[in-house]
Every structure is written in C-alpha cells, then in structure tokens.
Amino acid sequence: MDNKENDKEVLEMVEEAIDENRVKVYYQPKFSAKGIKVAGVEALCRIENEYHELVLPGEFIPVLERQESSDAIRRLDWFIITKACKFLKRLQRERLELLPVAVNLSRRHLSDEPVEHYMCSTANYMEIPHKYLEVELTESAAEDDSLELQRLIYRLRGSGFRVAIDDFGTGQANFKFLIENQVDVIKLDKSLISHGCDDPREKEVVRDLIRMAKRLGLTVVAEGVENARQWNFLIDHGCDLLQGYFAAEPLSEAEFFDFYNSIEVE
C-alpha cells in the first residue's frame, strides 16, 4: 500500500472512531515533588479499534498533521478539549479537588480558526474556570511560524488558560523561544533524562535548565520519569512536577477516578 492510501485509511479510521465514540482519553497524573501529591494530569488520546485494542497517537496524529487541510486534526483536538472539560466537570460533580488538565495541541492550529474561542466557549458552557485548562505546545511549532505561535500563546494566556512548552530541549529554537515567549510551564523532554541522570554531563545540563526555568518564574515538569534515581535527582534539583511510568502510567478515566478517589480518602 502506498503512503497516500495508508493515510486515507488512517483518516477514515479516525473519523469513524470519533463518530462512534471510540476515541478514548487517558489521563497521566503529574505528581508534585513536595508531598508526592497528584497536581495535574495530561490528557492523551487513544483510539479503540474493532478488536478493542488501543491504537496509540503516534500511529495517527502525524498522518492528520500532514494533511493539506487542518480539518481532521482540529476535529480530533477539539474533541479532546471537550473530553477534558467533561473530566473536570466530573471532578466537580464528585466533589474532588480540581486539577489542571493539560491537552496537547497540534502546531496545525497556529493559523487556524482561533482555538481559544473554542476552549472559552466549551469551558464557559460547562462552568469550568479557565485556569484548570492547560495547553501543551511543542517548541517545534516555532519552526513553522514563530510570530503566529507567539500570538497564539498570547491569546491563550490572555483568556486565562495556562500554556506549557512541551518536549523542551529537543528542538532548535528552545532558548530563543523562552526569550520571545512568556509561558507558564516548561516540560523537560524525556530524552534529557534518558541516562537516568547518572551521566555527569546530563546532570549538569538538567540541573542548570531547571535553575534557569525557575529564575524565569516557570513551573518545571519532567516527563518520562521511569525510575527512582531520576525521580530523586529531579526532586533534589528543584523540579516542581514529575510525570512518568515510575509513578503512574496514563490511566483510563475509570482507572483514574478509582486511583484519585483512593488517595483522596486516605
């Protein structure tokens, strides 16, 4: 099958999954370094296929992103935003402590119909305070059009949403990005801690990145924390939030509520 045919199949698979309510959101907890408390979640999408297996976003997001029209990726991302608001509504309904929910937004929304309008109307309709919605943007979005990205961040923050810069440390434009943009959160890419923070060069870089981010007033999140050595190193050096398989994998909504309820009553 050539690429075009494969893309067409993937597009149809996603469209059908949205129509049939088979797009699932998994929620991966982020833990605060102080007190090891759940301090937020990241919403990650999966598609349940006809065999009830979960298809991971790596298999369909890149296909949606490379289409000429941004309709398909917009439809998916907006669907996830709605689900994130419903998740917050459920926390409210069950009288659990509200948590910031982070959604990943594709760079394809830069020149799109304003995504913040959709976020505002959905959050307002469901009476969700905007500060509980966070948007994770990859810094590589700046490679497409840094001015558009700057404007999008400005508009999102102006509407009261939090903005995180995802995968920090992997792109070309990271320091310039931090100079040009005021964001709330910086997420250190998992590749920066892949040597388990045992490597002296890795240690120096990560330590100073955290220090710099803190001096800029940012919340620092480390993703992909897989073991106790990484966890302890990051806590010792002032990282605010930790996310990764070591503490919790992405959980289905039902699993998340079981987990969150069990720690809330402790």
Q: Which residues bind Ca ion (CB under 5 A)?
A: 104, 136, 166-167, 223
Instruction: Return the range that interacts with ligand C2E (CB under 6 A); candidates 55-63, 171-179, 204-212, 252-260.
Output: 55-63
Instruction: Return the range that interacts with ligand C2E (CB under 6 A); candidates 168-176, 210-218, 219-227, 233-241.
Output: 219-227
Q: How far is the CB of 10 from ligand C2E (least distance, A)?
A: 14
Q: How far is the CB of 265 from ligand C2E (least distance, A)?
A: 26
Instruction: Return the range that interacts with ligand C2E (CB under 6 A); candidates 150-158, 171-179, 218-226, 252-260.
Output: 218-226
Subset of 110-139 contacting ligand C2E (CB under 6 A) = 136
Q: Mind spelling out the 3-state secondary structure of the chain?
A: CCHHHHHHHHHHHHHHHHHCCCEEEEEEEEEECCCCCEEEEEEEEEEECCCCCEECHHHCHHHHHCCCCCHHHHHHHHHHHHHHHHHHHHHHHCCCCCCCEEEECCHHHCCCCCHHHHHHHHHHHCCCCHHHEEEEEECCHHHHHHHHHHHHHHHHHHCCCEEEEEEECCCCCHHHHHHHCCCCEEEECHHHHCCCCCCHHHHHHHHHHHHHHHHCCCEEEECCCCCHHHHHHHHHCCCCEECCCCCCCCECHHHHHHHHHHHHCC
If binding means CB under 6 A, how many residues of this protein chain bind ligand C2E?
Answer: 23
Q: How many CA atoms within 13 Å lie on the side-chain side of 238? A: 13
Q: How far is the CB of 168 from Ca ion (least distance, A)?
A: 9
75's CB contacts (< 8 A; 6+ apart) are 15, 18
Q: Is 61 in the site for ligand C2E (CB under 6 A)?
A: yes
Give the nearer residue to ligand C2E in terms of CB position, either 82 or 104: 104
Give the nearer residue to Ca ion in terms of CB position, either 191 or 261: 191
Instruction: Return the range that interacts with ligand C2E (CB under 6 A); candidates 93-101, 177-185, 207-215, 224-232.
Output: 224-232
Instruction: Return the range that interacts with ligand C2E (CB under 6 A); candidates 87-95, 144-152, 168-176, 217-225.
Output: 217-225
- Which of 116, 134, 184, 223 binds ligand C2E (CB under 6 A)? It is 223
Where do contacts with ligand C2E occur on this chain (CB under 6 A)? 28, 44-45, 56-58, 61, 77, 80, 104-106, 136, 166-167, 190, 223-226, 244-245, 250
